[in-house]
Amino acid sequence: MQVGTGGRTGCPEVDLEQRVQTAEAEQQRMDGREERGDRTARSLIAAARSAFAERGFAGASVRDIARAAQANPALIRYHFGSKEGLYQRVIREAMEDLKDRLVTALQHEGTVLERLNRVIAAQVDHLTSDRDFPRLIQRALLDGDERALTIAREYLRPMLNAIRPFIAAAGETPLGSLNDVIISFFGAVMGPFIYAKMLSEVFGEDTLSPESIARRKQHLDVLLTTIVEEILPRGRGETPG
C-alpha cells in the first residue's frame, strides 16, 4: 500500500470508506440536532398552551413560556416566528385534533342518532384529553381576543355545517329553533369542563374524574336521544341523503 503526502492512504476503497463514515457521522449529528429541535418545539408548545389558557395571549410572556419549557426565549422566534405564531400553532393543533375526531365520527355509517352520539363522544374525549383547551377558548373570549372569532370562523362553523345535514329537517322544533337547541346542547357538553373547579367545589367531588366523565357521557346520550326523538321523530332510522 502506498502512502502519499500528509499520511493519506492512496487506496480508493479506504478513501471511499472514510468518506462514507464521515457522511454518516455528519448525518447522525444533523439528526440529533433535528430531534433536539423537535423536542424543544414540543416543550414550547406545551408550555404555551398552559400559559395562554391561564393568562391569555396578552398576559403570557415569551420569557415565562420559555422558562417553563426550559428553553432560550430566542427559540420561540426560531421555531414559530413570533409569540403570535406560537399562539396560532397551539390553537391549530388543538382544533385540528378535534376536527379529525369529529370527521371520523361522522364518516362511519349509522342512523342520525348513532352518528350524532359518536360526534358528542368524540368531543367529550377531546375535552377530557386536552384539559387546557376549554380554558384556552374561555380565556380568549373573556379577554375579548379577536382570535376567538378566528376559531369560530375557521373551525367551529365548518364543524357545525358538517353536522347540519343530519338535523336540517328539524326547522322550528317543539324545543325552539334549531340554533337554540344546538346552543343548549353545546353548553351541556362544554359547561362541565369550563366550570370544572366550581362544580367540583359545589358537589364535593371531582366532576372530571373518569367515573364522572363516564356518567356524563351516559347523560349526554340520553339527552341527545330525547332531543332527536322530539325534533326528528323518524331521525333514529334515517340518514341524510
Q: Is the pLDDT of residue 197 over 80?
A: yes
Domain boundaries, the chain: 12-81, 91-241
Q: How long a stretch of residues is the chain?
A: 241
Give the least confident one: 18-32, 79-93, 98-112, 124-138. 18-32
In order, the DSSP letters of 191-217 are HHHHTHHHHHHHHTS-TTSHHHHHHHH
Q: What are residue 173's DSSP bridge partners?
A: 176
**Cβ atoms of 223 and 160 closer than 8 Å:** no
For the question of whether the overall pTM of this predicted structure is more than 0.85, the answer is: no
Residue identified by cell 462514507 is 20
Q: How far apart are CA 31 and CA 156, in angstroms?
A: 38
In order, the DSSP letters of 41-99 are HHHHHHHHHHHHHHHHHHHS-HHHHHHHTTS-THHHHHHHSSHHHHHHHHHHHHHHHHH
Q: Is the pLDDT of residue 174 over 80?
A: no
Question: What is the reported pLDDT for 240?
Answer: 47
Residue 32's pLDDT band, with cuts at 50, 70 and 90, is low
Domain range 91-241, its CATH number among 2.60.40, 1.10.357, 1.10.3860, 1.20.140: 1.10.357
Q: Is the pLDDT of residue 80 over 80?
A: yes
Tell me which residue of 78, 69, 12 sits closest to 40, measured CA to CA: 69
* Homologous superfamily of 12-81: Homeodomain-like (1.10.10.60)
